[in-house]
Structure 1
Amino acid sequence: MDIIKNRKIFFSISLVIIIVGMIMMAVNGLNRGIDFEGGTLIQIRIGKTISVDEVRLIVDKFDKEASIVHSGEKKDEIQIKSKKDFNNKEIHQIFNEFKEKYKLKDEDLVQSQKFGPAMGKEIRQKALLSSAIAVVAMLIYISWRFEFKFAISAIIALAHDVLIMLSVYAIFRIPVNGSFIAAILTILGYSINDTIVIFDRIRETRRLSRKDSYEKVVNDSIKKSFTRTINTSITTLVTILLLYILGVEDVKVLALPLIIGVIAGTYSSIFIASPLWYVFKSKEKDAKYNARKA
């Protein structure tokens, strides 16, 4: 496959997804979870492990969009997270439903807390700060290890991964929570690793074949790295998919954005970052040629 020749097709695929996602985000906004919107958390000790579907039979009467996770060492407690600001009467109504069905005691209401939007704002600020620090550190490292154009290409590819994840969440109205932020930071590291492997191959190929065009160098380097990159991604995806299929609810909320991120990161490493470097180097070459001609 001639990736450089078909680069506009690969760029267009990403652009379409991102544009649709941004439009959906502008119209409907992100489906922000309790970590960002504030709301109510209720933790109840059931005394045994029950399925999420069983919990929903009660919770859906009060909030069909509430998230439910298991907690406790024996997974015999449930945490109900809702964006609704339940008052004390409503909290006890929810607990009494469980109390009556599972013969609980008053002390089995482990905790009930209300979270205001301020906590969501704090999480957003910390997430943005963490991402900014990571991006600056990567920019400095890649510029030092390779060259500035490699660094710019890598950062644009990382921005692509984040935008693809946000777009998918916006299009399918998937709740965005604290796990999403953790997944983004994880994917930034995963994606940049794949990208650097290919960049290292490009640098090595340039050193060994100085007379080859940029197009041939990039295509040859990607072909040499392609099997390794795909095999690594497939192995990672299989593991995360198993976690998503077999894991409990609190594992699934982390696994889902990781699945999306691994796919986006693999795509950007092969079809976005390296072609971008080719575009930058070709423009630099043309600029030098025009300057000499003038």
Structure 2
Amino acid sequence: MRLLRIVPDNTRFKFVWFRRFSYPLSAAYSILVITLFLTVGLNFGIDFKGGTLIEMQSKAGAVDIAQIRHTANGLGFGEAEVQEFGTAGEVSMRFGMQPGGETAQQAVVVKARDAFASQYEFRRVETVGPRVSGELVQAGTLGVVLAIVGVLIYLWFRFEMPLAIGAILGTLHDIVLTIGFFLITQLEFNLTSIAAILTIVGYSLNETVVVFDRTRELLRRYKTMPVAELLDLSVNSTLSRTAMTATTTFLSLLALVLFGGTAIEGFALVMLFGVVVCTYSAMFISTPVLLYMDVRSAGAREEAQEAARAKASAAKAKA
């Protein structure tokens, strides 16, 4: 029985050559991300800003956003963010942090129910106070930083220095591009977003390790092959596996975006973007970086170390 092949076995695509386009593209995108981060900033959700989120479903089906916004602003809690989402008749309202602690936040919910309960069914109510939101910011930031540091340490010990540097640059590249997705789309950044970023880091690590393991194997096998050809061969030889993984993951996430509902839509959208970015990064960013590293010497050093270990093991067995 013949196995399914998305990519032919004899593919010889020149991935390294496309660094002439991928590097300027990623550099321009990164500059845009930095600019947006300093000027626009992330759209933090109530997990980080504090405040009250209310999601309602109209009992009549149709909604008048202008009327809802006028009523919400008249409750005396400042300007409310009102927007439709999901299916017809679903509305979300966001009220900023109110002075007076948890009691003041609960007063928002009480007044909102009095104003809208006759025409709308309350589906979701979340209230986060200033102390809790501050703790979430600190814990979320610390979690992301520690996870990234752990991944970088793993890569440093997993590969020889040139390969480790390429893998680290690829992982950081994927994180920057993912943050850029939040900045450009102004998708709400909350605790679920942190989970998405950490998942993307793991996916990026997986893609890079697969390609670089093949690169290390080919360095031992083809000692005279030009580095550019060897790097192209390493990507092409893993391309069928990469295409299969990316396609199945992409289709699964697309189903979550279309049919998963609003609760996980943001997470699925970010992951959908992350799968594309990680696949692109492993082929067009991380691998071409090795052209500028002394990978041939790194492969020779690793081979010599393995030979020395094998010799020591044989001598110990004889003894």
**TM-score band, normalised by shorter chain:** 0.7 to 0.9
Instruction: Give 3-state SS (helix, strand or coil) of 1:40's partner.
Output: strand
Contact 1:142/1:151 (8 A) holds in 2: yes
Q: Number of paired residues?
A: 270
Superposed displacement of residue 127, structure 1: 3.0
Q: Distance in 1 between matches of 2:44 and 2:174?
A: 19
Instruction: Give the 3-state SS of the residue equivalent to 2:127 in structure 1.
Output: strand
2:34 matches 1:16: no
Contact 2:256 2:264 in 1 (8 A): yes
- What's the counterpart of residue 129 of structure 2? 115
**Paired amino acid for 2:81:** K
- Pair 57,98 (structure 1): closer, same or farther in 2 beyond 3 Å: farther
Q: CA separation in 2, counterparts of 1:126 and 1:36? A: 11
Give runs of aligned pairs for residues 254-265 of structure 1, distance below 5 A. Answer: 254-265=267-278
Secondary structure of the corresponding residue to residue 224 of structure 2: coil
Distance 1:185 1:55 in 2: 39
Distance 2:124 2:270 in 1: 30
Q: Are the structure 2 counterparts of residues 80 and 119 from structure 1 closer, same or farther at C-alpha, using a change threshold of 3 Å?
A: farther
Work out whether 1:231 is the aligned partner of 2:244: yes
Give, in angstroms, the shift of residue 277 of structure 1: 2.4
Aligned position for 2:313: none
Q: Which one of the candidate residues 158, 162, 169 is aligned to 2:175?
A: 162
Kept in 2, the 8 Å contact 1:149–1:280? The answer is yes
Give, as a single letter, the amino acid of the residue that structure 2 aligns with 1:85. Answer: M
**Residue 39 and residue 147 in structure 1: after superposition, are their counterparts in 2 closer, same or farther (change >3 A)?**
same
Of 169, 188, 205, 1:175 maps to: 188
In structure 2, relative to structure 1, the CA distance for the partners of 1:91 and 1:256 (3 Å cut) is same
How far apart are the structure 2 equivalents of 1:28 and 1:160? 21
- The partner residue of 2:287 within 260, 274, 294 is 274
| AA aligned opposite 1:91 | V
Check 1:221–1:173 CA distance in 2 against 1; reply closer, same or farther (3 A cut). Answer: same
Q: What is the alpha-carbon root mean square deviation over aligned residues?
A: 3.4
Change (3 A) 1:253 1:59: farther
TM norm structure 2: 0.72
Amino acid at match of 1:167: G
The corresponding residue for 1:64 is 81
- The sequence identity of aligned pairs, in percent, is 28
Seen in structure 2, the aligned counterparts of structure 1 residues 51 and 113 have a Cα distance that, compared at 3 Å, is farther
TM-score between both structures, scaled by the size of structure 1? 0.78
Q: Aligned partners of 1:136 and 1:112: how far apart in 2?
A: 32
Give 1:252 shift: 0.5
1:214 — aligned with what?
227
Q: 1:64: how far off?
A: 3.2
In the other structure, the counterpart of 1:289 is: none
Q: What secondary structure sits across from 2:188 in the alignment?
A: coil
Q: CA deviation at 1:128?
A: 3.3
